[in-house]
Copies of this chain bind each other. A is one copy, B any other.
């Protein structure tokens, strides 16, 4: 029997520690191919590179592992893997991460990690985005690796229907302190910015985004935000039909169908 083939990418770049965690998880289950961004791509969402060429660099190769870096976005990395590097090969699973920082709630929309996970699911492979709620370069990924392993194993063996894309977030804590896994819905809310404003050496004003998440439903107990703030690992299944069906009626009334 051939080993499963697992594709990995991330948004923190090829040198991020979280990527090494994802590789360690994946190698327990199969052969691994990595295409990760050359540089950090945090907040790059589902962006693709349209106006500049992409260069693919082989970083290392050993038995059961190939690592490449691409000067593009996380979604570019997925496309490079599925439409070029691995073209024609069956990919059993996509992992994006482990991200340094949360991708819960509406952050799924801004996240390069989740952009890549979603893109991976378009190619028919089950896809898992993994994030740890710790931005620190030296974050402790131990508990995230244990939970990541458990979830990846379940996804590889569970025979879930595809497309399947999971947004997994892991709170900060030791394995002992975490309380288990919760399957949740995406918390409603938005990011409000406070622009950090300074003057550059030529006295020109510049701005820097510094956001804070506003939870629109702090009382809800079935959301990823609730799970994470109560010590649970959250899993939100993600889909991409963004149609607002609740507005169809009022809009069809305002713009009646024409022949």
Which A residues are within 8 Å of any B CB, using their own CB? 40, 42-51, 53-56, 75-76, 79-80, 83-84, 106, 108-110, 115, 118, 122-123, 151, 154, 158, 160-161, 164-166, 179-183, 185-186, 188, 190-195, 198, 200, 204-209, 232, 235-248, 250-252, 254-255, 257-259
Contact = CB atoms under 8 A, between A and B. Distances in A.
Contact of A50 (B50, B209, B258): B209
B53 A179 contact: no
Contact of A180 (B108, B209, B246, B258): B258
Contacts of A243: 185-186, 236-239
Given A40-B51, A206-B55, A242 B240 contact: yes
Nearest to A197: B84
Contacts of A106: 122, 240
A181 B45 contact: no
A239 B242 contact: yes
Q: 5 closest pairs, A vs B, by CB?
A: A180-B258, A239-B244, A53-B206, A237-B247, A237-B244
A16 to B, nearest CB: 14
Contacts of A40: 51
A251 B185 contact: no
Contact of A42 (B51, B76, B158, B232): B51
Contact of A207 (B48, B80, B186, B244): B80
B47 A43 contact: yes
Most interface-central of A44, A236, A247 (chain B CB within 10 A): A247
A167 to B, nearest CB: 8
A158 B79 CA distance: 42
Contacts of A108: 242
A50 B75 CA distance: 18
Contact of A54 (B45, B151, B161, B209): B209
Contacts of A46: 45-46, 109-110
Contacts of A161: 247, 250
A104 to B, nearest CB: 12
A102 B212 CA distance: 33
Q: Which of A118, A204, A250 has the most CB of B within 10 A?
A: A250
